[in-house]
Amino acid sequence: MTTRRFNWPLWVGFVLTLAAFMTYVSVFVWFPITRDFPWANLLMFSIAVVLLVMGVRRGFAADRPHPARSKIITSIIATLSVAVIGFFIFTVFVAARWLPPSKGAPQVGQQAPDFTLTDTTGKQVSLTELRTAPIDGKAPKGVLLVFYRGYW
């Protein structure tokens, strides 16, 4: 009688694939070193691929107690994992290039164009006013602009 073995490399590889996919959006996108080139996610995907290959070899082994069921489950999990990896690579490296360039955005160190907006208290504030209004009797050296979406 053959004992039933759990195909842990396949399942760990699948979970690691899902974790690598989800952590890019939830964790790694917040840091420029991992957002600009997703090396941490690619490393996680590489480890997942090694585990998936081990799991596929183990799932298609001849000594499995239920060979048909083992091959079906292994094929489904491996296909889902490859689809997730492919979708991530397509989204990050291909579809991201389709975004239009922001040619009109100010560059780092460039002076922002003058504008007037409503602050959080409902008062109209212009950039020129912020640049010239004295703070504690001294002229300001610069203005820090923070934009947030608000309620829309």
Digit-coded pLDDT (tens) for 22-61:
999 899 988 888 888 999 999 999 999 999 999 999 988 8
| Residue pair 76/10 in contact by the 8 Å Cβ criterion | no
Do 9 and 55 touch, CB atoms closer than 8 A?
yes
CB count in 10 Å sphere of residue 12: 16
> For the whole model, what pTM was predicted?
0.67
* Residue 83: per-residue pLDDT: 98
Question: What pLDDT is stored for residue 8 in this prediction?
Answer: 93
Question: Mean of the per-residue pLDDT values for the chain?
Answer: 87
